[in-house]
Amino acid sequence: MRVIVTGGAGFIASHIATAHLARGDEVLVVDNLSAGRRECVPAAAEFAEVDITDRGAMAKLWQQFRPQIVSHHAAQIDVRKSVEDPAYDAQVNILGSLNVMKNCIECGTKKLVFASTGGAIYGEPEQLPAAEDCPVRPMSLYGVAKYAVEQYLAAYGRLEGLNYTILRYANVYGPGQRTDGEAGVVAIFAGLMLSNRQPTIFGQGDKTRDYVYIEDVVRANLAAIEAGDGGTYNIGTGVQTSDQQVFDQVAKAAGYEGKPTYADERKGEIRHIALDSEKAERELGWRPQVQFPHGILQTVAYVREADAGLL
C-alpha cells in the first residue's frame, strides 16, 4: 500500500512510519519540522518538508503520491499553547486537518486514521475509566480542536463517503520520545534525572494520567487499517498513574536519588483521566500489552544510550 504519514518526523508517527515500511508499504512522511526532527524519519521513507496548512503543496503531494492510507498525526500538541494562542492551535489542528481530509476525498484514499486525544477530550469525567460515550467536555482548546476534527470527519463520511478511524490516545510514552519536548513527562523526567537535574512536578503529585506504550499505539494504528471503519476508539490502559508514581518509577530506573520540586498546576490541564479501551478490544482486536514498569525501563534505557551518543 501507499501510505502518507503526517507528522512522521515526530515521536509517535515516526514509529508508525517504520511499522508501515516493515509491512512492505511505500511510505511518504509529511512534516514541517517545527517540532519533529529530520533524523527521526525512517531512511526508507520518502520525505516532504511541507506544512499541512499549505493547501497548494499538500494537494500536489496527494496527487503525485496517490495514498491509499493516510495516518494523520501532524498537530500542534502543546495543551498550554492552545490556551495561550487558540487561533494558531485551530489553524494547525483544524484547518490543517481539513486540508488532509479534502485531499483524501479528491484522491480516493481508502482510509484516513486520525490521531485524536483521549487525555484532553473528556475533561474531568464523572466516571473512570472513561469510555467513548462519556460526555465530551474538554478543558483546553487543544481538546476542542481535536473534537472538532472528529466531527468534520464524521460529516465528510456522511457527505463524501470518506472512510476513517479515530484513535483517542492516552499519554503515549516510550523510546524515541524527546527529553526537551513540549509533552512527554516520562522522557522529560528521564533526561533530567540522568543528567542529575531536579525534575518539577506541577501540582502536589496526585494528578493522574493513563500511560500507553508506543509499541501498543503502533499496533492500534495497524489494526485500524483493516477494521473500525467510521469508528472512534480509546487507546489506553484504563489505569490511573499519578505524577508522583511516574517520578518514582523513572527515578528507580535511572538510579536517581533526588526529590522533585513542586510548582503550581498549569491552566487547561485535567486532574484525573484513564481510558476504557474495551471497544477497541471488541472491534479492532487490540488491547495494551506493555506494563508501565517495563515501558519505563525501556524508555530510560533509550534516553541513557541517546545521552551517551550510542544511538
The three three-digit cell numbers of residue 78, written as one number: 502543546
Pairing verdict, β 241-242 and 208-209: antiparallel
Could you count the other beta carbons within 10 Å of the beta carbon of residue 97? 25
Q: Domains (ranges, CATH) in the chain?
A: 2-171+211-235 (3.40.50.720), 176-209+239-274+290-307 (3.90.25.10)
> CB under 8 Å to 13, separation ≥6 — which residues?
5, 6, 7, 29, 31, 36, 71, 73, 74, 115
Over the stretch 157-184, which tens digit does the pLDDT of each residue have? 999 999 999 999 999 999 999 998 767 8
pTM (2 decimals)?
0.95
For the chain, give the mean pLDDT: 95
Q: What is the pLDDT of residue 168?
A: 98
| Catalytic residue (choose from 122, 142, 169, 173) | 142
Over the stretch 58-78, which tens digit does the pLDDT of each residue have? 999 999 999 999 999 999 877
| Residue 233 known to be catalytic | no
